[in-house]
Amino acid sequence: MNYLSQIINKSTFLNIKFWIIAFFILRLFHITNPPLEVSHNWRQTTVTMVARNFEEVNNNIFYPRLDIDGDKAGVTGMEFPVFNYLIYLMSLLFGYEHWYGRLINLIVSSFGIYFFYKLIRKHFDGELAFFSAIILLCSIWFPFSRKIMPDTFSFSFMIMCMYYGSNYFENGRFKNLFFYFIFCALGVLSKLPSGYILIIFSFFLLDKKQALDRKIIFCTVSVIIISIVAIWYFYWVPRLNSMFSFQHFYMGSTIYNGYVEFKNNLFDTIAKFFDSALKYVGFIFFIIGFYKAYKSKSDQVFYVFIVAFFGFLIVMFKAGFAFHHHNYYIIPFAPVMALVSAYGILKIKFQNSKYDRLKYVFLIAISLEGTLNYNDDFFIKEDDYRIFFLEKDLDKCGNEKDLILINSGNKPTPMYYAHRKGWVTFNDSIKNPVYLNKLKRKGLEFIVILKKSFGDEIILDYPICYSNAYYTIYELK
């Protein structure tokens, strides 16, 4: 019986593949939900909106478009739409559904966890790799790896590129250089801030033991990647915004303004590290790990953290207000924090060796706090879910070519479910007759007034085409 128990422990519960698969299955719960959970539904629908337009309007990947630019094309600069295009390609095979992005992100992010484990195991040891991967699984990655957002999707590719890039320095094989190029390009193009982690390769480039020819080839390939990324973000994105007179996606602040935001909102910024990234128990062990790493620099964990942190500072300052306002900006740094937190657990030593098993208790505590805090992300509130039927109710009044106005403020979510083009704005603007007359001249035909979710009810002096407890559709014809 004891022998069987040992076999199970070694082959199952201490096997990272088992936990990656288990967490994959766990996050399949309600995977077919439309992106209407309270947290970041607006950001998810900007992804799905672009993907759906690839299928219905134009599949040119260089011209992503949204539906909230009124009577205009809606083409705008954004992250290179790798993620959106995968949703589009999946829709070609199976027909369009709202939730495809959840599954795609979950698959890619699960591979990201596995490569994170392999990367840590290769450069440190298996136990640290296991603990780091479990902590990352239960960190902010837990909910965001099933959201239709490119954050964990992008950084998973960056982890893969780190693995293959380090392999190239070790053996010089072209295969590793090729995968480094592919995954790095996909990762940085999908989300520019993810590229900060490339600073870790400075360890290899400054290592005198590394062959000079490998350094030159690696740098050459990296320059090619950076050039591609620079063309997209610093030439094509501004060009799209200018050509189509529509800028929606936030492309960052100046470093100085970001620093001012950081200084003026210090607590909210720091909270992203202890509240958003790992939650409180994980952060306590992160502090312990940082102290232990500082005291014992021979393990290299301290240097990895310091170099990565200074690289991430640029991301923080460039993000400015958005960093302390949106918790998902911490996602690219969560793997580094998971490594230090795991290191903190494993460096706690007890005089009596029988207490060494407490490290698993600590790991379980981090895992439970991390996962249970995101329970709401698996459910949709009834009031929010009713917006799912907006398209069907609008069809009773007109057709999908009608231009509409919705009082959802600056949130595009209701427009996505309306499956139409038009404008989103606040109630004060809708009450302004000058504003409405301007939109009428552009072809506005219906106004949707949301009552319970995404907007507050106002009464308009127009004929009512349809009304229920959640929204009223006014006709302007």
Predicted pLDDT at 57 = 95
Q: Are residues 86 and 159 in the same domain?
A: yes
Distance CA 291, CA 289 (A): 5
Distance CA 100, CA 187 (A): 19
Distances from the Cα of 84 to the Cαs of 73, 157, 272, 414, in angstroms?
18, 15, 27, 19
Which of 352, 377, 402 is a domain's end point?
Answer: 377
Residue 231 CB neighbour total at 10 angstroms:
11
Q: Are residues 349 and 416 in the same domain?
A: no
pTM for this entry: 0.93
Q: Residue 3 burial (CB < 10 Å; 0-12/13-18/19+)?
A: exposed
DSSP string, 306-325: HHHHHHHHHHHHHHTHHHHH
Distance CA 117, CA 130 (A): 6
Q: Are residues 360 and 467 in the same domain?
A: no
SS (H, E, C) 46-72: HHHHHHHHHHHCCCCCCCCECCCCCCC
Is residue 9 domain-resident?
Answer: no
Predicted pLDDT at 81 = 97
β-strand partners of 189: none
The secondary structure of residue 253, as a DSSP letter, is: -
Predicted pLDDT at 2 = 52
Q: Are residues 353 and 395 in the same domain?
A: no
Sort strands 421-424 and 444-450 into parallel, antiparallel or unpaired.
unpaired
Is residue 42 domain-resident?
Answer: yes
Q: Are residues 447 and 409 in the same domain?
A: yes
**The residue type at 217:** I
Q: Residue 9 burial (CB < 10 Å; 0-12/13-18/19+)?
A: exposed
The residues near 469 (Cβ < 8 Å, ≥ 6 apart) are: 386, 451, 452
Sort strands 471-475 and 444-450 into parallel, antiparallel or unpaired.
antiparallel
Q: Are residues 366 and 441 in the same domain?
A: no
Is residue 283 domain-resident?
Answer: yes
Q: Are residues 150 and 36 in the same domain?
A: yes
Is residue 239 domain-resident?
Answer: yes
User: How many domains is the chain built from?
Assistant: 2
Is residue 330 domain-resident?
Answer: yes
Ramachandran angles phi, psi of 457, nearest 5°: -70, 135
Is residue 48 domain-resident?
Answer: yes
Is residue 306 domain-resident?
Answer: yes
Predicted pLDDT at 354 = 64
β-strand partners of 448: 406, 473
The residues near 203 (Cβ < 8 Å, ≥ 6 apart) are: 303, 304, 307
Q: Which residues of the chain have pLDDT under 70?
A: 1-11, 351-355
3-state helix, strand, coil in the chain (%, to 5): 65, 5, 30
Distance CA 110, CA 192 (A): 21
Q: Are residues 334 and 428 in the same domain?
A: no
Which of 344, 377, 410 is a domain's end point?
Answer: 377
Residues spanned by the domain of 339: 29-377
Predicted pLDDT at 7 = 43
Is residue 12 domain-resident?
Answer: no
The residues near 38 (Cβ < 8 Å, ≥ 6 apart) are: 376, 381, 384
Q: Are residues 457 and 365 in the same domain?
A: no
Question: What is the helix (H) or strand (E) element at residue 161, kind and residue range?
Answer: helix 151-171
Q: Are residues 67 and 204 in the same domain?
A: yes
Distances from the Cα of 110 to the Cαs of 92, 137, 146, 152, 347, in angstroms?
24, 9, 10, 10, 27
Taking a C-beta distance cutoff of 8 angstroms, is the pair 391, 422 a contact? no
Which contacts of 303-307 are long-range, i.e. CB under 8 A and separated by 24 or more positions?
A: 303/203, 304/200, 304/203, 304/336, 304/339, 305/336, 305/339, 305/340, 307/199, 307/200, 307/202, 307/203
Q: Are residues 296 and 387 in the same domain?
A: no
Q: Are residues 55 and 100 in the same domain?
A: yes
pLDDT tens digit sequence for 409-434: 999 999 999 999 999 999 999 999 99
Taking a C-beta distance cutoff of 8 angstroms, is the pair 413, 42 a contact? yes
Q: Is the dihedral of CA 16, 20, 21, 25 positive or negative?
A: positive
Taking a C-beta distance cutoff of 8 angstroms, is the pair 369, 20 a contact? no
Which of 346, 377, 408 is a domain's end point?
Answer: 377
